[in-house]
Structure 1
Amino acid sequence: MAVYAAHLTRSFQGTPSVFQVTAQEALGTTLKPALRKVIEYLSVLYPNKCSWCTHWYDELYLLFDCIVQYNYLKYYAASFSESFYGLLRVPISYSSEFSIGQRLPIDLERGSLALLVLLPYVKDKVGAIIDKWREDDEDGKLGKDTRGRLRSAAIKVYAILHLVYEGLQLVQLARYLRGGSPSHSLPMAALGLTLRNAPPQELPEDEYTWSDLFKNLSSGQIGSAALTFPMVGGAVVRGAEYGAFVVQLLRWWRDRGAPPPSLPAPPPPARAEAAAARNRCPLCAAAWRLPTALPVSGYIFCYTCISRHVRARGCCPVTSLPAAESSLVRVYLDTQ
């Protein structure tokens, strides 16, 4: 009867809104770039001990993400970000749930772990390879041999598949919003899972909590005050969850589109320097290929040269003024 009651409790929980499901997805995508910044900072601070972490960051994050997501799926039937927003995963078909209570069936738990951990890892790796091939194609380095033609075809196929997948994902989200599908995403629909609001957790009557600790300290009962492992573990978990939320908030604040502060106009180049660099990229010193202007400084570069530099350094290579890749402007000049 207790297991049956748990099943009914999970079945009648309200369906999460589209804002909840999109917010938890955004939180999940924030962790990897945030931790990358921490690793890069440590590698600069301790190059002899942590420099290798930047090279193997994807694999290290894969291991870390696997441990975190497995524990959340095992104990909360949800991913890290889903648990933060008070959600849990529920099979659309409840036939196997009567024997396991709140935990997901083993096959769905393993499938969820694979899609939460392995799928983003493979997508990032394939995306990095395709980006490298695309840059080589724009720079004219792929060549006309069979390997170059295959890579050019792979770039086009990847772009088409990415567009189709994102379109299907949008359709799935629209169906979820209209009530036509119980799953908000394609991976969840493929596993036969849906999200529900998690029921409130009821602590045992004899569970020692933080409120009991502060109460004993404030009343002077120092001998009765104690720190238990569940208290410390829960505080660490909640601290990590709220820390990830703060990172997501800061990332939104940075990308919210506020107008950048006005920057001083760079000094014009000397006449002799300008004559020597006429119709040439300041980075590669060759004739312009896809001339692209950087508005913050006014210089014109090859698109491949300036996009790589701005992506890596975040500034103009000539004036060192801060710049973003989104500010690049393609120009059409008569160089004759």
Structure 2
Amino acid sequence: MAERGAHLTAASGHDDRPSIFEVVAQDSLMSTVRPALQHVIKVLAESNPGRYGFLWRWFDEAYVLLDLLLQQHYLSRRSASFSENFYGLKRVALSRGGDGKPLRSLVTTGLPQGHHYASLCLLVLVPYLRAKLEKLVSRLREEDDYSIHPPSSSWKRFYRAFLAAYPFANLAWEGWFLGQQLCYLLGKARQHSPLLRMASVQLVRLTAEDVRGLEEGARDTNMAAQPSCSLTDRVRTAAKTALGGLAFSLSTGLSVGVFFLQFLEWWYSSENQETIKALTALPVPPPPVHLDLGTDPPLLPTLKALCPLCRRVRANDTALATSGFVFCYRCAYTYVKAHQRCPVTGYPTELQHLVKLYTPDN
């Protein structure tokens, strides 16, 4: 039985077919890079909201542009995504005919144009749309819990129907991927992911010919940069070198970010924070001032029972976890949803940072 399990998790008799551990590991690599980069942007935005706050508000769009540049570079140069190339894999196009056999080619020749753009769209757009959908579901659940929309609103019925159907749709999506991985593990499928199947490509290991082709391509690039070449060739080579260097810098930074994520998890762990607090007993800093110098800062009301936004007695007291100031729930929700920051301090804030306060009167 153990021998049978070892046989299933190996290359299944094909020298160029990666094992299930390799394909799952390369899938999980990009899922760890995004949180690491997001945490770095969050730290920068909290340290200087005026300069880096826009990066936090537009993180999804900035990340998808960087991901597009990175994946385009590796698909055109290595016939693989960043994570696939990291594990020594490449993509091979499958024939459009009924047999669906792989079209054997060197990594330097690249994928056919149709397979290339299909792979690029699925690699970049699917994670972006999925992240946007999860944020939308989270926001709708908060609105439904706090009854932001009137009970008679037709949108509220649509929201509840959508929220009720989303867990089943998500379960079907995850089950689709799990079923494809099981078929790949048992040797019944060429791809471990439905996205690879939709792009009509298959993952295989890099061969010795591929490695030699990459080395020869690097030598040809260096020779093309010699002064004997024409000005057009040198400009084209310089542009390709610049883009390749930028993509290489991004890939190196992402590789280091995987390690940096583990360091951040340890640094912000509860045990380490307790040690830091015990070693550094600093006095409490003064309250932060408003960081938006272009407009008049909203002065805090004299009475502590008033909301800083509407200047009325607070209703449904809600505090912002990022700054500690207390507002009415509707005031804080509307402002944070529109500006993604604290109204008083300017610290980057999201809707999940709203904390309901319960007084003895409640």
TM-score interval w.r.t. the shorter chain? 0.5 to 0.7
Cα pair distance change 1:73/1:153, threshold 3 Å: same
Q: Match of 1:166?
A: 174
Deviations, residues 5-50 of structure 1 (Å, cap 9, x unaligned): xxxxxxx752111111111111111222211122222223333322
Cα pair distance change 1:104/1:38, threshold 3 Å: same
> How far apart, CA to CA, are the structure 2 residues paired with 1:35 and 1:240?
10
For residues 195-210 of structure 1, what are the structure 2 equivalents within 5 Å?
195-200=203-208, 201-202=211-212, 203-204=215-216
> How far apart, CA to CA, are the structure 1 residues paired with 2:255 and 2:272?
30
Give the aligned CA root-mean-square deviation in angstroms.
4.0
Q: Please state if 1:240 is matched with 2:247.
A: no
SS at match of 1:89: strand
Cα pair distance change 1:61/1:99, threshold 3 Å: closer
Cα pair distance change 1:242/1:251, threshold 3 Å: same
Q: Match of 1:28?
A: 30
Cα pair distance change 1:309/1:235, threshold 3 Å: closer
Cα pair distance change 1:170/1:235, threshold 3 Å: closer
Identical-residue share of aligned pairs (%):
27
Cα pair distance change 1:235/1:32, threshold 3 Å: closer
Q: CA deviation at 1:245?
A: 3.8
> How far apart, CA to CA, are the structure 2 residues paired with 1:95 and 1:14?
12
Aligned with residue 202 of structure 2, among 194, 203, 207: 194
> How far apart, CA to CA, are the structure 1 residues paired with 2:159 and 2:217?
63
Aligned with residue 110 of structure 2, among 81, 98, 103: 103
Q: Match of 1:131?
A: 138
Aligned with residue 120 of structure 2, among 100, 105, 113: 113
> How far apart, CA to CA, are the structure 1 residues paired with 2:272 and 2:207?
47
Cα pair distance change 1:14/1:248, threshold 3 Å: farther
SS at match of 2:167: helix
Aligned with residue 65 of structure 1, among 64, 67, 71: 67
Cα pair distance change 1:161/1:235, threshold 3 Å: closer
Q: Match of 2:154?
A: 146
Contact kept in structure 1, 2:122 and 2:195, CA below 8 Å? yes
Paired AA for residue 191 in structure 1: A
Aligned with residue 191 of structure 2, among 163, 183, 191: 183
Q: How many residues align?
A: 245
Q: CA deviation at 1:138?
A: 2.3
Q: Match of 1:225?
A: none
> How far apart, CA to CA, are the structure 1 residues paired with 2:137 and 2:29?
26
Paired AA for residue 243 in structure 1: V
> How far apart, CA to CA, are the structure 1 residues paired with 2:164 and 2:356?
31
Paired AA for residue 63 in structure 1: L
Contact kept in structure 2, 1:69 and 1:80, CA below 8 Å? yes
Contact kept in structure 2, 1:133 and 1:142, CA below 8 Å? no
Q: CA deviation at 1:99?
A: 10
List runs of 5+ in structure 2 lacking aligned partners: 1-13, 96-100, 221-240, 275-314, 319-332, 334-348
Contact kept in structure 2, 1:13 and 1:199, CA below 8 Å? no
SS at match of 1:195: strand
List runs of 5+ in structure 1 lacking aligned partners: 1-11, 209-228, 264-282, 287-304, 319-336
SS at match of 2:80: coil
> How far apart, CA to CA, are the structure 2 residues paired with 1:240 and 1:246?
10
Aligned with residue 88 of structure 2, among 77, 82, 86: 86
Deviations, residues 113-163 of structure 1 (Å, cap 9, x unaligned): 111111111111121111111122223334432110001111122221111
Deviations, residues 149-185 of structure 1 (Å, cap 9, x unaligned): 0011111222211111111111111111111101001
Q: TM (normalized to structure 1)? A: 0.61
